[in-house]
């Protein structure tokens, strides 16, 4: 298969279900909302080694936030709701509560009670008895005194069952050409609402495979796509490809992840120097969501 002269391998990306939530982070200015969100998203690229996968989803104008201030939305994913609750509570407590002027709200509406996770309910104890609560409709929020005023946080956050691990592997002639293709793909993929690309700038240089010669490691370098290892390991690289970047996408549902991947594929294949696009899978044994590149050509 080809798209704009670029070879597209007839394969599929193998994605899997994860528990997700959306945070709305607000502050006195957009700058401080972004600072808080970026701190929250630190060390949140892959659940292989992190407690969550998280990234900023979009910027919100004041009229779109619960308290009428500038804000951002963040999506976070973990393997279970319990793990998500722990990670989100810890990260809000350390990275958003501590940031000047911030507040934090649930961005998932109409979530049944059994699928909500405790967040403000855990953080309220920081108030040391001076905290107070207020209920608006069915949603309770907590107010915790801080040295610049107070921190407001919803008692519980809604969750959803999302899809994580959608991916594209871009193989190019040079590092510069492949990075340009990855940047174009990342921009197009991130424009789809309801998805995030959790790796640095949305791009992965250190693609991994399952397992290692070292028993303690769950994953290790994907040597089949390392050009420098061609003489030492069985390669999957096409002739003339000397660099590979991976794009990993998580989303609220299967269709959003598929749409994001399609946008990325078409954007990448417009960049000169890209040789091949493929995707990572494990023979269908890891995840039930299979996203075929063939379906994205037209």
Q: Given CA atoms 233, 238, 241, 245 in this order, what sign does their dihedral have?
A: negative
Query: Where a domain ends, among 141, 160, 179?
Result: 160
Question: Is the pLDDT at 293 greater than 90, yes or no?
Answer: yes
228 plus 259 within the same structural domain: yes
pLDDT in tens, 84-98: 999 999 999 999 999
pLDDT in tens, 90-123: 999 999 999 999 999 999 988 999 999 999 999 9
95 plus 179 within the same structural domain: no
Rounded to a whole number of angstroms, the CA Rg of the chain reads: 21
Q: Please say whether the beta carbons of 290 and 281 come within 8 A.
A: yes
Q: Please say whether the beta carbons of 18 and 9 come within 8 A.
A: no
232 plus 291 within the same structural domain: yes
Question: Is the pLDDT at 138 greater than 90, yes or no?
Answer: no
At residue 4, the 3 state secondary structure works out as coil
Nearest Cα neighbor of 15 from 193, 260, 238, 263 is 260
150 plus 234 within the same structural domain: no
**C-alpha pair distances (Å), 65 with each of 107, 155, 227:** 9, 17, 47
Q: What is the predicted pLDDT for the residue at 285? A: 72
227 plus 103 within the same structural domain: no
CA distance 71 to 240: 45
pLDDT in tens, 198-208: 999 999 999 99
132 plus 172 within the same structural domain: no
Q: What are phi and psi of 16, to 5 degrees?
A: -145, 160
pLDDT in tens, 62-75: 999 999 999 999 99
pTM, whole model, 2 decimals? 0.94
26 plus 66 within the same structural domain: yes
24 plus 43 within the same structural domain: yes
Query: Where a domain ends, among 143, 160, 177?
Result: 160
CATH number of the domain bearing residue 34: 3.30.70.520
Number of domains making up the chain: 2
Write out the H or E segment, with its range, that includes residue 190.
helix 175-190
125 plus 199 within the same structural domain: no
Beta carbons within 10 angstroms of residue 115's beta carbon = 16
Q: Which domain holds residue 148?
A: 17-160
171 plus 292 within the same structural domain: yes
226 plus 96 within the same structural domain: no
86 plus 142 within the same structural domain: yes
Query: Where a domain ends, among 111, 133, 160?
Result: 160
Burial (0-12, 13-18, 19+ Cβ within 10 Å), 195: buried
């Amino acid at each position: 298969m080809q798209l704009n002269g670029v070879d597209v391998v007839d394969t599929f990306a193998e994605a899997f279900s994860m528990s997700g939530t959306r945070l709305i982070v607000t502050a006195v200015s957009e700058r401080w909302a972004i600072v808080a969100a970026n701190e929250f998203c630190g060390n949140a690229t892959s659940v292989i080694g992190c407690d969550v996968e998280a990234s900023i989803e979009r910027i919100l104008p004041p009229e779109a936030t619960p308290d009428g201030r500038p804000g951002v939305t963040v999506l976070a994913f973990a393997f279970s709701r319990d793990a998500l609750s722990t990670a989100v509570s810890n990260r809000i407590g350390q990275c958003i509560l501590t940031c000047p002027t911030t507040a934090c709200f649930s961005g998932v509406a109409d979530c049944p009670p059994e699928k909500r996770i405790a967040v403000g309910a855990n953080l309220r104890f920081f108030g040391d008895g001076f905290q107070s609560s207020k209920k608006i409709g069915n949603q309770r929020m907590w107010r915790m005194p801080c040295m610049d005023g107070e921190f407001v946080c919803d008692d519980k956050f809604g969750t959803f069952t999302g899809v994580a691990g959608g991916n594209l592997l871009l193989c190019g002639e040079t590092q510069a050409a492949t990075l340009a293709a990855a940047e174009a793909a990342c921009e197009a993929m991130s424009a789809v609402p309801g998805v995030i690309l959790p790796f640095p700038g949305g791009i992965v240089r250190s693609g991994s495979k399952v397992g290692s010669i070292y028993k303690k490691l769950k994953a290790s370098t994907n040597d089949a796509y390392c050009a420098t290892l061609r003489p030492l390991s069985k390669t999957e690289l096409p002739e003339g490809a000397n660099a590979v970047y991976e794009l990993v996408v998580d989303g609220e549902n299967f269709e959003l992840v598929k749409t994001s991947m399609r946008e990325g594929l078409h954007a990448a294949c417009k960049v000169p120097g890209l040789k091949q696009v493929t995707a990572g899978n494990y023979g269908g044994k890891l995840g039930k969501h299979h996203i075929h590149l063939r379906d994205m050509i037209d």
